[in-house]
């Protein structure tokens, strides 16, 4: 599940990407709060993390504030999710970046729990890693060929 902190980070990035595409380049935290709906107290903690990651920059001049410095088309929501919430794997033995062997598992190759979650996780990670910030901004559905049970592809 995506936390509120990650949701607010993504909303703030979309606002900054919109500002980059428009006339404004740097936005004050109050403007980001107003446009994104994210609480200022959350953004005060999130924006410095996004800055340290090299996604946004800040200016300390009269019309200063935060601005996108990374191309929005290169910003993956999965990257933001990992940055804010940490590893995404449902089991520590499935994580690519924070792998840990499960303490109670004798053999990960024959572990049924790992097998089931591994197949699900592989599909999910391929899908979420393929998204970019413009996909979120446009509300597009890049996975139209995938269908959930009881739906038609693209619903």
How crowded is residue 116: how many other Cβ atoms within 10 Å of its Cβ?
11
- Given this model, what pLDDT does residue 48 score? 95
List C-alpha distances in Å: 101 to 42, 46, 70, 108: 33, 31, 35, 8
The pLDDT tens digits for 9-21 are 999 999 999 988 7
Q: Quick one: residue 86, left, alpha or beta (phi over 0 = left, psi -120 to 50 = alpha)?
A: left
Is residue 49 a contact partner of residue 83, using CB atoms and an 8 Å limit? Answer: yes
CA angle 35, 144, 121 (to 5 degrees): 85
CATH of 4-72, one of 3.10.580.10, 3.40.50.150, 3.40.50.10140, 1.10.10.10: 1.10.10.10
The ranges assigned to domains in the chain are 4-72
The pLDDT tens digits for 12-63 are 999 999 988 776 678 999 999 999 999 999 999 999 999 999 999 998 867 7
The whole model's pTM is what?
A: 0.78
Is residue 67 a contact partner of residue 25, using CB atoms and an 8 Å limit? Answer: yes
């Amino acid at each position: 599940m995506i936390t509120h902190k990650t949701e607010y980070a993504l909303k703030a990035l979309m606002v900054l990407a919109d500002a980059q595409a428009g006339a404004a380049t740097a936005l004050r935290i109050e403007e980001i709060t107003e446009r994104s709906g994210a609480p200022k107290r959350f953004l005060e903690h999130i924006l410095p993390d996004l800055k340290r990651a090299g996604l946004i920059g800040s200016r300390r001049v009269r019309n200063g504030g935060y601005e996108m410095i990374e191309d929005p088309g290169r910003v993956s929501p999965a990257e933001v999710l990992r940055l804010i919430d940490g590893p995404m794997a449902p089991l520590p033995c499935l994580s690519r970046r924070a792998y840990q062997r499960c303490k109670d598992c004798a053999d990960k190759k024959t572990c049924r729990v790992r097998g089931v979650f591994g197949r699900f996780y592989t599909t999910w990670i391929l899908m979420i890693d393929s998204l970019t910030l413009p996909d979120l901004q446009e509300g597009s559905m890049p996975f139209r060929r995938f269908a959930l049970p009881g739906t038609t592809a693209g619903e």
